[in-house]
Amino acid sequence: MRKTEERGKTMYLLKKLYCRTFQIGMRTVLPILPYREPKPLKSIQGIIPILKRRRIKRVLLVTDNGVRKAGITKPLERLLIEENIQCFIYDKTVANPTVENVEEAAKIYRKGKCKALIAVGGGSAMDCAKAVGARIVRPHTPLCRMEGILKVIKKLPLLIAVPTTAGTGSETTLAAVITDEKTHRKYPINDFVLIPRYAILDPQMTISLPPHLTATTGMDALTHAVEAYIGRSTTKHTRTMSVDAIRLIFENLEIAYQDGNNYEARQNMLRAAYLAGASFTQSYVGYVHAVAHSLGGKYGMAHGLTNAVLLPIVLEEYGEDAYEKLADLARRTGISYDVNDEVAAKKFIAKIREMNKKMEIPNALSGILEEDIEALAKHADHEANPLYPVPVLWDVNQLKKIYYLVREEKRYDRVTNQKSIKYTA
């Protein structure tokens, strides 16, 4: 027994050394890596001059059925027709885009001899469009072989992102998260070429977003900004973007949730999501995302919701390893000016819980099967380590604890002492 324990400790230390060495290397080269930020435009009207300058006459619009049925894409479709630009449409993207979605859309792109991709929707539509671009330039490479970092390499066709939610930040990122519908495994593809060239931050495209989605996608953006800030691979630029994003979210999300027609709040939330996305593209995320991705791949849980529920749980479990940076965020965003880091950090986490409660986001998730937790934790471990520069490294057993915490339907909230709300995924 003692030998087994010692072997386990040795393996953990070796893994920790490997992960931190990898992350130090990434942080060292961060300033010279070819990151770029998409050019933000304030209206869909700005798409036409871009296409005309490039003499593009055939485009593929990637969206989902809900967005199209709601009529959100109609103004853009009409605009393209008026300008004699042929628009082929793929609207079958699901909440966690699948390999099948990507292959179906790529087939339409090729058949239509398209020269550009326009993604309209949330993160799912944008991730699908990015993966389509990857398949277009790498026709002989299956998506599963592009998992990880810098596996695409080749320049994508022109990609324009039009977010209809203020949360995912996918309009700024180098990542596409795809689900293999056969194995229910969710994996990220990361490459600089996946960053869209333009991001259309048009508040009119988010006005019809229902309150629940406004809330969960907004908390998704908050998760991006917080995880990017408390990680170990930040720069002055990414820290500034994270703080600005968090301030905007604290000031505008609940307003947008209560009044979806508040144009200014919608505009500010789009800006926040853009900043948070640009920040985590360079500084990466952490265990909140790794766990959320595993739950999305296995059960189809909405990414924004799982992030919102997981964020305060994971921050609490980081404990003193995250107090200093969380306290700094609390002070810089006006949540607490307490000189004690632990006190200020806990007030910051309490603010997140308070926002969730006000917007009727539960503090636990049902539907997670105990017999799946081992495999889910291994998947999260595989995704996060060594890539994510988390405040403290966890192994599979430590990650398993997070699943148990988030699945308990009757556990008591540590801050409010209220029972968890049951949520059926």
Predicted confidence (pLDDT) at residue 130 exceeds the cutoff of 70: yes
Counts for the chain of helices (H) and strands (E), in that order: 15, 9
Predicted confidence (pLDDT) at residue 132 exceeds the cutoff of 50: yes
pLDDT in tens, 83-96: 999 999 999 999 88
Burial class (CB in 10 A: 0-12, 13-18, 19+), 323: buried
Domain ranges of the chain: 39-205, 209-407
Q: Is the previous residue joined to 386 through a cis bond, with omega within 30 degrees of 0?
A: yes
Query: Region 108-119: what's the mean pLDDT?
Result: 98
Percentage of the chain with pLDDT > 70?
93
At 22, the pLDDT band (50, 70, 90 cuts) reads: confident
pLDDT at position 411 is 47
Task: Give the CA distances from residue 116 to residues 62, 157, 158, 420, in Å, rounded to whole numbers and listed in that order.
Answer: 11, 5, 5, 46
Q: Which two tokens stand for residue 327?
A: 């306290």
Predicted confidence (pLDDT) at residue 114 exceeds the cutoff of 90: yes
Query: Region 135-163: what's the mean pLDDT?
Result: 95
pLDDT at position 6 is 60
Nearest to 94 by CA among 277, 234, 303, 348: 303
Give the integer Cα–Cα distance in Å for 357 and 84: 48
Report the CATH fold assignment for 39-205: Rossmann fold (3.40.50)
The yes/no answer on whether domain 209-407 falls in CATH 3.10.580.10 is no
Predicted confidence (pLDDT) at residue 25 exceeds the cutoff of 90: no
Task: Give the CA distances from residue 26 to residues 20, 59, 327, 422, in Å, rounded to whole numbers and listed in that order.
Answer: 10, 36, 26, 40
pLDDT at position 90 is 98
Q: Which two tokens stand for residue 347?
A: 């007030």
pLDDT in tens, 53-86: 999 999 999 999 999 999 999 999 999 999 999 9
pLDDT in tens, 334-384: 999 999 999 999 999 999 999 999 999 999 998 999 999 999 999 999 999
pLDDT at position 336 is 95
Give the integer Cα–Cα distance in Å for 170 and 347: 29
Query: Region 222-241: what's the mean pLDDT?
Result: 96
pLDDT at position 149 is 85
Mean pLDDT of the chain: 91
pLDDT in tens, 277-298: 999 999 999 999 999 999 998 9
At 1, the pLDDT band (50, 70, 90 cuts) reads: low
pLDDT at position 23 is 74
Predicted confidence (pLDDT) at residue 245 exceeds the cutoff of 60: yes
Nearest to 204 by CA among 92, 359, 335, 70: 70
CA quadruple 307, 312, 313, 317: dihedral positive or negative? positive
At 415, the pLDDT band (50, 70, 90 cuts) reads: very low
Predicted confidence (pLDDT) at residue 422 exceeds the cutoff of 50: no
Task: Give the CA distances from residue 170 to residues 124, 150, 424, in Å, rounded to whole numbers and listed in that order.
Answer: 9, 17, 26
Do residues 422 and 409 lie in contact, with contact meaning Cβ atoms separated by under 8 Å?
Answer: yes
Predicted confidence (pLDDT) at residue 302 exceeds the cutoff of 50: yes
pLDDT at position 4 is 54
Predicted confidence (pLDDT) at residue 425 exceeds the cutoff of 50: no
How many beta carbons lie within 10 A of that of residue 56, not counting itself? 16
- Cα(first)–Cα(last) distance of the chain, in Å? 40
CA quadruple 312, 315, 319, 324: dihedral positive or negative? negative
pLDDT at position 366 is 87
At 48, the pLDDT band (50, 70, 90 cuts) reads: very high
